[in-house]
Amino acid sequence: MTFAGITVIPDLDAPDLPSCVDYTKTLSKRGTHELLAAARESGQVLVQPRCGVGDHGRMVALLRELHEGAEPDVLSVTIDAHTRLSRFAEAERALHEDPSRLNGYPLVAHGWRRGRELNESVPVPLEVRHGSPDPRQLFVVAIASGITSFEGGGIAYNLPYVKDVPLTASLRAWQEVDQACGLLARHGVIVERELFGTLTAVLMPPALSLAVCVLEAVRAAQAGVRCLTMAYPQGGHAVQDVAALTSIPVLAARYLPDHVEVYPVLHQFMGPFPADPAVADALILYGGLVARWGGATKVVVKTNQEAHGIPDAAANIRGMRTTRVALSHLMDGFGVDDTAVRQEREWILGEVAELVDPLLAAPDLTEAITTAFRSGRLDVPFSASVHAHSAVLPVRDPAGAIRIGRFGSLSLSEQTRKRHRALIGAGEPGDDRATSIAAVTADIQRFSAYAP
């Protein structure tokens, strides 16, 4: 059996595509792509928490509690690790033995009927967030559940998450998902595809994050996707973060067709979080301000319990409320230096072009991407995958912006390399003063180590 061109495993028991399209059109709430368009029009920043537990009843209760407590614009269904890796039998076994062992909601094991119950339990749209290099079965259940917001991509949901899945395999699996989105669009159902530029989340140079998003976006657009969000992780330097966020519309205009809607999304800081709740709250507020200053259409919120494990609902509600303060008129009058943002943005755009232009000019983009990662011309720092060199080493400059201390084989010009070295304060190539383990560790712990 196939569903929108995807071969479906027998246990999935998925309804046919026309009935899923009809069901989705009857839902009495707006889809995410409609919310994004309205938010851009009004200047609003949508707020979304992360959330996902194994037990169905607890998941329904959690969604309702978050909605009642903070009125998020979009709610998440974070998927468990077994399902992310297509270990559906293990997910189902854990579900029956002790669902609290699962680190997310096993949507495939629960099935599309319960997925519809989730969807109907709250009046706002849901997004499936996972981390799967092969999301095809999960996508089918999500669509059958009426969920039309689906995160991930063939690069960003492979290299940061799994050790040994070939890029060709994940890129082709995600291509089937994007082609299914194209088919659904022709039936009048627009699926919002969020691209996870966050990657490994720690000290991510903006150009690498955005380059991966651009490559995945071009592939998605070619497959027929109509609505994309490009997610960028807050690095912790306001000028650089605002420059990166404001680069996204420029990149969309440069590389994507006009009929594809593209929206910038900020993930609040995803590195080691402060253990002190007051400092953590301040970092969350800072993230909300960066989202506002950078023109993000959506911000994905953290909690002040991040340093201690999976947050409870109260912490999630507090994180959303804190973020809304940053987005409110109470914070009018604050901002960043426009000239500094413009200069940083020009450098970021130039670096992205150096990374992606040679690949986009190749006759086969899938082959070009896999070859680039194989050679190290594209890379992901701190990746556990054998299919990334992880030879790139980011560091912070004295002002706190993220630069590249060790370039590996990245296809960046000598001019770009000189600028990074100059900003770090390093000397000629081979000068490791700025890339010592102690310096990089301190940069990673920049916020978690702070004590008032």
pLDDT surpasses 80 at 113? yes
Confidence of residue 434 (pLDDT cuts 50, 70, 90): low
Confidence of residue 186 (pLDDT cuts 50, 70, 90): very high
Q: How far apart are CA 233 and CA 287, in angstroms?
A: 10
pLDDT digits (tens, 9 = 90+) for 67-92: 999 999 999 999 999 999 999 999 99
pLDDT surpasses 70 at 427? no
What is the separation of C-alpha 110 from the centre of its chain, rounded to a whole number of angstroms? Answer: 24
pLDDT surpasses 80 at 432? no
Residue 300 CB contacts under 8 Å (≥ 6 apart), including other chains: 48, 49, 50, 76, 231, 265, 266, 267, 268
pLDDT digits (tens, 9 = 90+) for 125-149: 999 999 999 999 999 999 999 999 9
Measured in residues, the chain has a length of 452
pLDDT digits (tens, 9 = 90+) for 370-396: 999 999 999 999 999 999 999 999 999
Confidence of residue 321 (pLDDT cuts 50, 70, 90): very high
The confidence score (pLDDT) of residue 309 equals 87
Q: How far apart are CA 323 and CA 291, in angstroms?
A: 9
The confidence score (pLDDT) of residue 435 equals 65
32-36, 309-313, 339-343, 430-434: which has the minimum mean pLDDT?
430-434
In terms of phi and psi (left: phi > 0; alpha: psi -120 to 50; beta: otherwise), the region of 401 is: beta
pLDDT surpasses 90 at 25? yes
Q: What is the dihedral of CA 285, 313, 73, 203, to 10 degrees?
A: 50
Q: How far apart are CA 238 and CA 259, in angstroms?
A: 31
- Cβ atoms of 143 and 93 within 8 Å: the answer is no
Q: How far apart are CA 353 and CA 412, in angstroms?
A: 9
With pLDDT > 90 as the criterion, what percentage of the chain qualifies?
93
Taking residues 395-416, what's their average pLDDT? 96
Q: How far apart are CA 426 and CA 393, in angstroms?
A: 13
pLDDT surpasses 90 at 95? yes
The confidence score (pLDDT) of residue 431 equals 60
Q: What is the mean pLDDT of the chain?
A: 96
Q: What is the dihedral of CA 277, 283, 289, 291, to 10 degrees?
A: -110
Amino acid at site 287: G
**Which strand (E) or helix (H) includes residue 298?**
strand 298-300
pLDDT digits (tens, 9 = 90+) for 288-316: 999 999 999 999 999 999 999 889 999 99
The confidence score (pLDDT) of residue 220 equals 98
Which residues are 227's β-sheet partners?
192, 261
Catalytic residues: 84, 151
151-155, 242-246, 426-430: which has the minimum mean pLDDT?
426-430
Amino acid at site 388: A
Interior/surface letters 42-63, b for 16+ CB within 10 angstroms, e for the rest: eeebbbbbbbbbbbbeebbebb
